Structures are given as C-alpha cells and as structure tokens.
Amino acid sequence: MSSTTKDTTTDSPDVMVEIRAVHKSFGTLEVLRGIDLSVRAGEVTVVLGPSGSGKSTLLRTINHLEKVDHGWISFDGTLVGYRRDGNKLYELREREVLRQRTRIGFVFQNFNLFPHLTVLENIIEAPVSALRRPRKDAVAAAEKLLARVGLADKAGVYPKQLSGGQQQRVAIARALALEPKLLLFDEPTSALDPELVGEVLDVIKDLARGGTTMIVVTHEIGFAREVADTVVFMDEGRIVEQGAPADVLDRPDNPRTRAFLSKVL
C-alpha cells in the first residue's frame, strides 16, 4: 500500500473502520444514501434495521464485495478497494483487494461453506493458498479453531453432514483462520432453526469478549443488548440512530427506531 493512502485516517488512532458519505445504488434503487460510521478497535457494533434498509449492503461494502458509488471506507488506516492520489480514487487491482480481504473475516447468512471440501479443507484453504502458510501449520491452527467453536471431532466431515448451527460455527472458524483484524457478520443466525441460534450466538459472544473488532448485522435484539458496544439503527439507506445499546434500545429518540423495536420486541 502506498503512503498516499495513510492520510485517510482522520480520527484517533484506534479507529478500525471509518465510513464516510457512502452512497450505493442498484440501478435506480438507492440502497445507501450517505452513511457515516466509525468503528473503534476492539468494539462490537451491531447494526439493526428492517429488511431492505441497506444494512447487508453496507457490510458488504466494507470488504469491497460491493463497490461504493460515492464516499469512501477505510480499514485500519487504509482505503478499502481504492488508492488515493490527490483528489482521485483509483480502483485497486483484484490482487490488492484480495490481500485486504484476508485481513477482514466475513461470515455469511447462508454459511457458504464449500460443499465439496471437508470441514478441515474449508478452513485451511485460505491460509494455505492466500497466505502461503505451510499446510502443517494451517492444519494445526484449524484444529485449534475447531476446538474453540466446539467441533473438534468434525474435521473430516463434509458440511452437508452438519446441522445449520454447526455449519455456521465452521464458517466462523474458517473466517478466523486468516487471523483477521475485523470480523463482519451478515445475519449469521437468520438461516438457522430457532433451537440452533443459541450455539452460534455463544461463539460470537465468546469472540466479542476476547476483544475481536466486529460488525454484526442481525435481528437478535437480545444479543445486541448483551454484547454490543454500539448499536446502529438503519432505515431506508440511512443511519437514523446510533449509540450505546441502553440508549438506542430502551430510550430511542427516533420514531422509526421506536416503531421497529415495538414490532420485534
């Protein structure tokens, strides 16, 4: 990364993710209408909002799965997906974008495990091929991660032989295998049967307590209350309210936040 990108960090040095004036449209539909958000290192940010409010799109712009139309996002002091030179933002080559992504873990709603690879192969794929780790080290690290998510005995199994909750725990272990500085969760429990939600949330809570910086898009209000340092409420492509969970969830200022919470609580 060239030194010209360093000047993008404006706030205090412990800001991990900075999102400024981000706009994004799909065709004529404007999904993000000017998002500003800062996430500090070691904090858990939970993004709430009705479906279609743009929360998943916002999350996907942070690791450049979606390109932004206006504005910029920086991660750990470096612009995501672009290089700044003067007043211009040059799109990065894919190889450079991929290198950035290895430092950001992403957990999908539908797990997206590779069905033709075993649990172990799923986890060591990125460390071995993207980070060029020796296979032996990657396997040892993967086994530790599997133990951490409570699936030490499932290394040789194919994903389809696991329950949804187990698959999502493997997906979390796969994201952790790159030792990312930031974890993004896109509705990690929305595709799960109700009785399996708890086991996945427990793993995420455990990570939160360990000080991992994470942004979690979810509908689990109880989880937000318990784990979040900051709760962000989005509606129609804008952040309408943000703050400590006690403030946003119990004493919301915005009528739209109140309306949403009254429906889900």
Q: Choose the binding region for another protein from 50-58, 118-126, 187-195, 239-247 (rule: CB under 8 A).
A: 118-126
- Rule CB under 8 A: say whether 163 interacts with another protein: no
* C-alpha closest to that of 19 among 218, 210, 215, 254: 215
**Out of 10, 25, 51, 161, the residue judged to bind another protein by CB under 8 A:** 161
Q: Least distance in Å: CB of 97 to another protein?
A: 8
Strand 213-217 to 44-48 pairing: parallel
Inter-CA distances, 235 with 27, 35, 152, 159, 162, Å: 19, 11, 40, 35, 35
Give the span between the Cα atoms of 230 and 242, in whole angstroms: 7
- Rule CB under 8 A: say whether 51 interacts with another protein: no
CB atoms within 10 A of CB 197: 18
130 contacts: CB under 8 Å, gap ≥ 6: 98, 102, 178
- Rule CB under 8 A: say whether 75 interacts with another protein: no
- Rule CB under 8 A: say whether 99 interacts with another protein: yes
- Rule CB under 8 A: say whether 191 interacts with another protein: no
Q: Least distance in Å: CB of 113 to another protein?
A: 8
**Out of 12, 86, 94, 132, the residue judged to bind another protein by CB under 8 A:** 94
Residue type present at position 150: G
Give the span between the Cα atoms of 211 and 139, in whole angstroms: 24
**Out of 24, 55, 84, 101, the residue judged to bind another protein by CB under 8 A:** 101
Residue type present at position 31: V
Give the span between the Cα atoms of 251 and 48, in whole angstroms: 15
* C-alpha closest to that of 228 among 238, 218, 239, 241: 218
- Rule CB under 8 A: say whether 26 interacts with another protein: no
Residue type present at position 99: R
Q: Choose the binding region for another protein from 14-22, 23-31, 41-49, 113-121 (rule: CB under 8 A).
A: 113-121
- Rule CB under 8 A: say whether 214 interacts with another protein: no
**Out of 30, 69, 76, 125, the residue judged to bind another protein by CB under 8 A:** 125
For another protein, the binding residues (CB under 8 A) are 63, 65, 94-95, 98-99, 101-102, 104-106, 108, 110, 112-118, 125-126, 129-131, 158-161, 174-175, 178
